[in-house]
Chain A
Amino acid sequence: MEFDTFMQSRILTGLTLGFHIIFATIGVGVPVMIMIAEWMGIRKNDPHYRLLARRWARGFTVTVAVGVVTGTAIGMQLSLLWPSFMQLAGQVIALPLFMETFAFFFEAIFLGIYLYTWDRFKKPIYHCLLVIPVVIGSSASAFFITTVNAFMNTPQGFKLENGVITGIEPLKAMFNPATPTKVAHVLSSAYLTSAFVLAAITAWFILRGSRSDYYQKALRLTMTWSLVFAIATAVIGDLSGKFLAEYQPEKLAAAEWHFETEKQADLILGGVLDKETLEVKGELRIPMALSILAGSHPDTEVTGLNEFPRDLWPPLYVHYLFDLMVGIGMYLAAVAGLFVLVRIWKKKHEWNPWLLRLIVLGGPLSMLAIELGWIFTEVGRQPWILRGFMRTDEGVTTSANVGQMLVLFSGLYAVLGIVCTVVLIRMFRKNPPEKEMGKRGIEGGGQHVV
């Protein structure tokens, strides 16, 4: 592979997005958890939940800042690195891009209000209501931006004749075939990841010896919702498989190393591919499962990669990403399910250290799954930037300085990543919940008051 402007632009875009989605995922999911905690606090009249919301919100602010600046970066980099693509696609996807900024604007305004009005209203419900526009804004911006990505996978709503775009239908472009499954999957997986990350942090503290009511409530809340979101994500993941089989069969075939078109196709787990002979070794085959994934019936015909010219094949390593993503999804669902079952039937084992360790592990794994799933969906669409219309190398900039910019931005993300982590850890270590509970006169506090 040549390390030319094209490659550098791909790496820089991938780097920016890869860094941004960590914070974007938190940005979409955590407000939902804050809203749930606020609502529980009011419904049960329990200050623990309100403190939970408050502490989550405080950490959230720091991640939002990084999310905003990296989001600005990717927004501008689209035009800086892929000017020809934006010139063409900008004519069709301007509407969702524009609406995304409105949603973001809305969220930014209400987040500011929410964070600075904690004790300002006499009735706590007013403050609780303020988090709703934050949730709407963050999920809506995820919705709009995902429709843009969906459009790049299944472009429609325009005609392209000799490089000139006509017959634009903005809504048809926005609500393309990939939109429903993509949006649903992005939202549910962001909620799942955020809930699991919060659960993992809580489990970590419980493992270290903090056993007060506050932590127990936090873990029960986050694990229960993790299970809900995990089930939703699995169902939507199945629908996404069916979508791929119909609209982007080459992506599904590459993910499954499925070369011959056939019925009763096997699902391949793991394995190693010989790039020359295209033979798979050491895999685990589940008979007919791919046909079932693609069309709910063993007799569904699944299109194989051989139907496509070789130069339009996506890279075949996406199989590993796909397997890992699905594997982690299963793991998260299993751990959350286990926790809920143990809680119902064997209450005394609820704080079993091994169970807690599994939960802690699920935090970083869930974020890893977000990255893997996203790389799978982006790389799986190569060589297209606009599937069927524009190849990625036709959209790239002609500017010669991408290499230097790649170095600059790598440095920036390294600094932001490290400082953000340090700030977050310090913030919570210096001000543990016990101290805050003591200060606010909430039951369970005072043990560590300095």
Chain B
Amino acid sequence: MSYELIGITVLWLFLYGYVIVASIDFGAGFFSYYGKVTGKGEVINQVINRYLSPVWEVTNVFLIFFLVGIVGFFPDTAYYFGTALLVPGSIALILLAIRGSFYAFHHYGSKPNTFYEFLYGTTGLLIPASLATILTISEGGFIEKKGNEVVLLMDTLLKSPYSWSVVLLALVSVLFISASFLTYYAHKAEDYEAERVLHKWALGWSLPTIFASFLVFVAMSDHNMQHFTSMLDNSWMFVVSMGFFTLAVYLLMVRKYYGWMFLSVLLQFGFAFFGYGKSHLPYILYPYITVQGSVNNPVMAQALIWAFIGGLSLLVPSLLLLMKLFLFDAKYVKGR
């Protein structure tokens, strides 16, 4: 495997990791606030907090990792995306900043504060939308190069059906992934009341998710034919993804094997995400940046891969320890 392929695969893996952990986090924040306001979901808050408290910081690092990694492996991306994304990037940053800090203010301050929780719950839905825009832009058609300047065509972006379908998909996926994970977690905590609420939400958000996925497909054929054809060439991955979705919904309906249910959700998004990524290649930013054309010097790429191996051998055991202590520790999960 060539350096650029290893690089982009590793980065894509981290982005996938971010999509999953952040979805759980964003959705949980929103559900928690929604539950508080409507009074309907008050029961779920304990489960949510018990899971989120020790891991919220780690979520953010997945994103930073991806951002630093992509500039490191493919420095040209800094130039194109950096110049074009000043406004959407800054807005995403401000939302992330509000969300991260107000989470801590809310939870570690002297007493919980509803306004803090409002900020942290609602930004959780705006962030996926703003980050999804960056993926949209990578499809091309929204960035123009005029001489030395790289300009983002904001108007085109705001009017594009493709861009809106991606935003929609991001929103409903966040809620679906989060609700299905929390159902599993509540079940493990033997908090059956919370499980009942979350189970309903998970089922409720499953159909919109698959509907939005189709919408993106259709909009893609309209927006970037080259990528769409490439997606058809890899259609088996999307079929497998659909299969896992069906399995997950089935398990939700029969209320059994929630562990397997969540694993199916992971695989559903995994196959779709990697199918999308694979068919996006060789372009990082259509048609300006390809992985081959922008990969860092081979010496640096090699050093990065070594650093990556070293880093992972430190990270994986630590992450396992974290999961063992807070995710798979029956006593902790049950709040004892």
Residues of B within 8 A of A305 (CB): none
**In the complex, are the beta carbons of B314 and A106 less than 8 A apart?**
yes
Residues of A within 8 A of B321 (CB): 109, 113
**Distance in angstroms between the alpha carbons of A128 and B63 in the assembled complex:** 30
**Distance in angstroms between the alpha carbons of A191 and B94 in the assembled complex:** 29
**In the complex, are the beta carbons of A399 and B90 less than 8 A apart?**
no
**In the complex, are the beta carbons of B82 and A397 less than 8 A apart?**
yes
Select B307's contact among A64, A99, A166, A408, beta carbons within 8 Å: A99
Select B72's contact among A76, A80, A95, A397, beta carbons within 8 Å: A95
**In the complex, are the beta carbons of B81 and A94 less than 8 A apart?**
no
B207 within 8 A of A: no
**In the complex, are the beta carbons of A80 and B82 less than 8 A apart?**
yes
**Distance in angstroms between the alpha carbons of A68 and B102 in the assembled complex:** 12
**In the complex, are the beta carbons of B315 and A102 less than 8 A apart?**
yes
Tell me which of B53-61, B165-173, B249-257 binds A. B53-61
Residues of B within 8 A of A77 (CB): 90, 93
Total interface residues on A, using CB and 8 Å?
A: 74
**Distance in angstroms between the alpha carbons of A402 and B87 in the assembled complex:** 8
A-B contact count (CB 8 A): 220
Contact mask A97-132 → B, CB, 8 Å, 1/0?
Answer: 111111011101111110111001000000000000
**Distance in angstroms between the alpha carbons of A420 and B104 in the assembled complex:** 9
A423 within 8 A of B: yes
Contact A87 B78, CB 8 Å, known A64-B104, A105-B61: yes
Residues of B within 8 A of A97 (CB): 68, 71-72
**In the complex, are the beta carbons of A112 and B57 less than 8 A apart?**
yes
Contact A102 B86, CB 8 Å, known A72-B60, A416-B101, A419-B105: no
**In the complex, are the beta carbons of A408 and B101 less than 8 A apart?**
no
Residues of B within 8 A of A405 (CB): 86-87, 90
Residues of B within 8 A of A308 (CB): none
**In the complex, are the beta carbons of B311 and A412 less than 8 A apart?**
no
A79 within 8 A of B: yes
Select A75's contact among B57, B64, B80, B319, beta carbons within 8 Å: B64
**In the complex, are the beta carbons of A75 and B68 less than 8 A apart?**
yes
A188 within 8 A of B: no
**In the complex, are the beta carbons of B318 and A423 less than 8 A apart?**
no
Contact A423 B82, CB 8 Å, known A104-B61, A169-B299: no
B184 within 8 A of A: no
Residues of A within 8 A of B299 (CB): 168-170
A398 within 8 A of B: yes
Closest to A86 in B: B78
Residues of B within 8 A of A99 (CB): 307, 311
**Distance in angstroms between the alpha carbons of A408 and B322 in the assembled complex:** 36
**In the complex, are the beta carbons of B86 and A402 less than 8 A apart?**
yes
Residues of A within 8 A of B67 (CB): 75-76, 79
**Nearest CB of chain B from residue A103's CB, rounded to whole Å:** 9
A449 within 8 A of B: no
Residues of A within 8 A of B110 (CB): 423, 426-427, 429-431
**Nearest CB of chain A from residue B115's CB, rounded to whole Å:** 10
Give chain B's interface residues, CB within 8 Å of chain A.
53-58, 60-61, 63-65, 67-69, 71-73, 75-76, 78-87, 89-91, 93-94, 96-98, 100-105, 108-111, 148-150, 296-297, 299-300, 303-304, 307-308, 310-311, 314-315, 318-319, 321-322, 325-326, 332
Beyond the given A80-B85, A92-B300, could you list 6 further A-B residue pairs with CB under 8 A, ordered by the A residue number?
A: A64-B104, A86-B82, A90-B71, A398-B148, A420-B101, A430-B111
Q: Can you show 15 pairs from A to B with CB atoms below 8 A apart?
A: A62-B108, A65-B101, A66-B101, A81-B82, A87-B82, A90-B78, A98-B68, A102-B310, A109-B315, A112-B53, A120-B332, A133-B318, A404-B87, A419-B102, A420-B101
Q: Which 7 A-B pairs have the closest CB atoms?
A: A94-B72, A65-B104, A83-B82, A86-B78, A102-B311, A90-B75, A79-B82
Give chain A's interface residues, CB within 8 Å of chain B.
58, 61-62, 64-66, 68-73, 75-77, 79-84, 86-88, 90-92, 94-95, 97-102, 104-106, 108-113, 115-117, 120, 133, 165-166, 168-171, 397-399, 401-402, 404-405, 408-409, 412, 416, 419-420, 423, 426-427, 429-431
